[in-house]
Structure 1
Amino acid sequence: MVNVKGRWALITGASRGVGYQTAIFMAKQGCNLILHSRNLEHCIKVEDEVKALGVEAFSVQAELANHEEVAAMLDEIEAKNIPVDIVFNNAAVQIAYRTDYWQTPVEDFELSFRINFISIVTICNRLIPKMIERGFGRVINTTSGIKNEPEQAGYAASKAALDKFTKDLASRLEGTDVMINLTDPGWCRTDLGGPKAPNSVESVIPGIAVGAFVDDKKSGRYLGAQSFVGMTLEEAVAKAEAMEATPYTI
């Protein structure tokens, strides 16, 4: 199992919901954190909390729908000469629930893809090559289990694109100590999931983060967080490493 103490992790959407849970959990493991939100003020609380747990942390801001802001955020991180060893691409947006899905506006797809897919591609393409150079890295991309719901077509399609991108990259990272996997928090009571969701946001721990700790050089796994509820981190890692890794064939 990977020891993350003293390593640096970037968490997008860290100020609330699943991202907040991930930040607190990783800080408890001794991991230093780069906390992203659309506005720095949103991260004040979580930054104070993780620093109180004894780790280093700083916050960055970017509107993920804006490519220039994403690039500027990455420039800011690189200017600090901090090696980003772990990335949790958590932040996402669900635009609307379109009952008349035949009338889904093209803007739903455009915004969903900019935030849920293109921003993640930008982050991966900037940070993974440096992980390869250093010989270590973990990338965990957050997907969704939504299916058979054209009412959420923009969101679902953007996540399907992310799945494909992640699996394709996994095929090139197999056997290295740079690993990329998918996680799915399940339907949780968050701002995105809404109050009627069956799972508490706390239930994502430890499964949402287990991809940072697996250590068998296999990429392309789907690590559904609800499959690890009630487990210790050690138990979750053992279960994750027993799961089949299924990158697409080159």
Structure 2
Amino acid sequence: MLNVQGKWALITGASRGVGRETARFMAQQGCNLILHSRDVKHTASLEEEIRSMGVQTYSISAELGNHEEVTAMLDAIEVQGTQVDIVFNNAAVQIAYRTDFWNTPVEDFEASFRINFISVVTICNRLIPGMLERGFGRVINTTSGIINEPEQAGYAASKAALDKFTKDLSSRLEGTNVILSLTDPGWCRTDLGGPQAPNAVDSVIPGIAIGAFVNDGRSGRFFHAQNFVGMDLEEAVTKAEAQEAQRYVI
């Protein structure tokens, strides 16, 4: 199991929900954190909490639907001189539930793809080459288990694109010490998931973070956080490393 103490992780959507839980958990493991939100004020209290754990942290902001802001965020991290070792691409938006799905506005697809897919691609394409040069990196992209719901077509399609991108890219990382994984927190009671969701947000720990700790050089696996509920981190990593990647078959 990988020791992340002293490494730097970027967490998008860190101000609340799954991102906030992930940040707390990683800080408990001794990992330094870059906390992303749309406004640095949103992560101010989390910064204080994390610093009290004895790790370093700072906040950055970007509207992920704006490509220029995503690029500026990555520029700012570079200016700070931070070597990003781990990335949790957690942030996402679920635009609307369209009961009249035949008339889903094109804007649903445009916004979903900009935030849920294109921003992740931009982050990966910027940060993974440096990881490969340094010989270490972990990237965890957050997908969704939503299926057979055309009412959420924009959101679901953007996550399907993310799945394809992640699995295709992972095929180029075999034999390196850069591991690219997918995770799904499950349906949780967050601002995005809503109050009717069956799972508490803290149920995502430790499963949501497994991709940062696997240490066997294998990319392209999917880790469903709810499959690791009740496990300690070492047990969860052992279970995760026993999984095989489900490659696309042509």
TM-score range, shorter chain: over 0.9
Q: Which residue of 2 aligns with 1:131?
A: 131
Q: Which residue of 2 aligns with 1:118?
A: 118
Deviation at 1:245, TM superposition (A): 1.7
**TM-score normalised to structure 1 length:** 0.99
Secondary structure (helix, strand or coil) at the match of 1:196 reads coil
Equivalent residues of 1:219, 1:246 under 8 A apart: no
Q: Which residue of 1 aligns with 2:181?
A: 181
Q: Which residue of 2 aligns with 1:23?
A: 23
Letter of the 2:221 counterpart: R
Deviation at 1:249, TM superposition (A): 7.0
CA deviation digits over 1:51-81, x for unaligned, max 9?
1111000000000000000000000001111
CA–CA distance in structure 1, aligned partners of residues 59 and 245 of structure 2: 33
Letter of the 1:203 counterpart: S
Equivalent residues of 1:170, 1:247 under 8 A apart: no
Gaps of 5+ in 2: none
Q: Which residue of 1 aligns with 2:223?
A: 223
Equivalent residues of 1:171, 1:249 under 8 A apart: no
Q: Which residue of 2 aligns with 1:79?
A: 79
Letter of the 1:45 counterpart: S
1:97-246 equivalent positions in 2, closer than 5 A: 97-246=97-246
CA deviation digits over 1:159-190, x for unaligned, max 9?
00000000001000012100100000000000
Equivalent residues of 1:171, 1:248 under 8 A apart: no
CA–CA distance in structure 1, aligned partners of residues 213 and 145 of structure 2: 22
Q: Which residue of 1 aligns with 2:91?
A: 91
Gaps of 5+ in 1: none
| Percent identity of paired positions between Structure 1 and Structure 2 | 76
Q: Which residue of 1 aligns with 2:47?
A: 47
Deviation at 1:248, TM superposition (A): 4.2
Greater CA deviation, 102-111 or 74-83? Answer: 74-83
Deviation at 1:246, TM superposition (A): 2.9
CA deviation digits over 1:176-226, x for unaligned, max 9?
100100000000000000000000000000000010000000000010000
**TM-score normalised to structure 2 length:** 0.99
The alignment covers a number of residue pairs equal to 250
Deviation at 1:247, TM superposition (A): 4.0
Letter of the 2:145 counterpart: G
